[in-house]
Structure 1
Amino acid sequence: MIYLPILLGLGFAAAYFPLSSTPQSWARSIIKTVPLLAFALAAYLAGLGPFLVVGLFLSALGDFGLSRDGDAPFLYGLSAFALSHLAYILHFLGVSDAQIWDAFSTVPVAAIILVTLMVSTELWLATHTGHLQWPVRIYVVIIGTMGLSALTLPFGWTVVGAGLFILSDVILAINLFRMSDTHHHRLKAGYAIWAFYITGQALILWGGLQA
């Protein structure tokens, strides 16, 4: 029963690949939203804890928001993902029974690289986001904190999943704010964003199931 929604989610995720570069439509939005809804259902049925379930569900809402055009849906999607990361932070720290700063003593190199990436966004991202500068800045801090909380866990599927989630958001930021609509890598970037994102979320769920 648990694996049925996971397979459903992966099936819809695969179906979204050819749609990732197509214009906005309700069918596209629905197909993009289903995978994380299915993952959230699987987490709920498996009894993986409220924060993981909420994090996956909020990610589905974020997927829907980012599938629509305009600043308002973008901010809605960004807010939903920010809240999902906060839920993941609570989940990861609850599992590891550690504090955020413990990442700097257990895996200092990875933690420093992550913080350096967060700070670097002031140079290559923040100045290119216009009136969305502060929402993006806040989001960067939250997703970076999510990454640090994942680093308090033993290395495994969840840590890899969190890393892929962050990687997908880095590519998404470049795609949205640094690439023109006619950039020759834009199509490839769209595929990479979805591949890293859905794999990362699936591994976070899988890590919860394995634990």
Structure 2
Amino acid sequence: MSAVPLLALPFFCAALVLALWQGVAFAGAPASWRKSFIKTGAVWALAAGLALSAPAGTGAVILVGLVLGGLGDFFLSRPGQGAFLAGMVAFALGHLAYAAAFFALGRAWPDLWPALGAGALAALAFLFLAPRAGALKWPVQLYIGVILVMVLAALRVDDPRIFWGALCFMASDFILALELFALPPGRVRRAASHIVWALYWPAQALIAWSALG
């Protein structure tokens, strides 16, 4: 497990600064263009650092997933159901890209207990949170299936960065679903927004780091 290459390091540091800025100033805040650019930049700066290493094979596929994740962040930071659906589509495609890379890197089967835990969390979200999404129930249920596939693929890989990145990603999405569909407006919901970001951005950073070798 190597350190971040010098060429990519400034971009990863910039991504960290933007991620901290987003977490402190904009997580849970109303939509604004500044929030959109900072949130998106915190992920696309990772993608820029990874792109400088000219990744090939699975690294290039992870780069595609990272770019799609940043695009999803942009859409989810904008108001309206159309933007929300566009963000879900971008993230679902990003998860499929990650899953393809992880399947190529992994062994035959994921570890049993983490796989069962991921399956239980997905089932909980599928049965109890997605129905609260109203007209978005079916897209949300489909998205839950996609992220479960990504996590199961990650659990086949002998790289702790991918293991923890995938689990943090799933946990952040679960808490996001709670925030959007179950929690009433107020202090708890705002706290959930900060927790989502505190899990989500490290997940993307760990997966991006894994692609550097």
Structure 2 counterpart of 1:205, one-letter code: A
| Partner Cα separation in structure 2 for residue 44 and residue 155 of structure 1 | 21
- Deviations 1:39-98, CA, capped at 9 Å, x for gaps: 1111211233221110000000000011011100000000000000000001111222x4
**Residue pairs, 1:72-151, within 5 angstroms:** 72-96=82-106, 98=107, 102-103=109-110, 107-151=111-155
Question: For 1:44, which of 28, 46, 51 is the aligned residue?
Answer: 51
Q: Which residue of 2 aligns with 1:169?
A: 173
TM-score by length of 1: 0.92
| Partner Cα separation in structure 2 for residue 114 and residue 25 of structure 1 | 34
| Partner Cα separation in structure 1 for residue 120 and residue 27 of structure 2 | 30
- Report the 3-state secondary structure (helix = DSSP H, G, I; strand = E; otherwise coil) of the residue aligned with 1:185: helix
Q: Which segments of 5 or more consecutive residues in structure 2 lack a partner in the other structure?
A: 1-6
Q: Which residue of 1 aligns with 2:209?
A: 206
TM-align CA RMSD: 1.2
Which one has more relative contact order, counting CA pairs under 8 Å at least 6 apart? 2
Q: Which residue of 2 aligns with 1:5?
A: 11
| Partner Cα separation in structure 2 for residue 63 and residue 159 of structure 1 | 22
| Partner Cα separation in structure 2 for residue 189 and residue 127 of structure 1 | 20
| Partner Cα separation in structure 2 for residue 126 and residue 37 of structure 1 | 29
Contact 2:126–2:144 at 8 Å: present in 1 too?
Answer: no
Q: Which segments of 5 or more consecutive residues in structure 1 lack a partner in the other structure?
A: none
1:24 aligns with 2:34: no
Measure how far apart 1:155 and its partner are. Answer: 4.6
- Deviations 1:85-112, CA, capped at 9 Å, x for gaps: 000001111222x45xx11xxx111111
- Report the 3-state secondary structure (helix = DSSP H, G, I; strand = E; otherwise coil) of the residue aligned with 2:10: helix
Contact 1:158–1:208 at 8 Å: present in 2 too?
Answer: no
Measure how far apart 1:21 and its partner are. Answer: 2.0
| Partner Cα separation in structure 1 for residue 60 and residue 180 of structure 2 | 32
Question: For 1:57, which of 29, 54, 67 is the aligned residue?
Answer: 67
Q: Give the stretch that moved more between structures: 116-125 or 150-159.
A: 116-125
Q: Give the stretch that moved more between structures: 16-25 or 66-75.
A: 16-25
Structure 2 counterpart of 1:142, one-letter code: V
| Partner Cα separation in structure 1 for residue 143 and residue 17 of structure 2 | 29
Question: What percentage of aligned pairs have identical amino acids?
Answer: 36
Number of residue pairs the alignment of both structures matches: 203
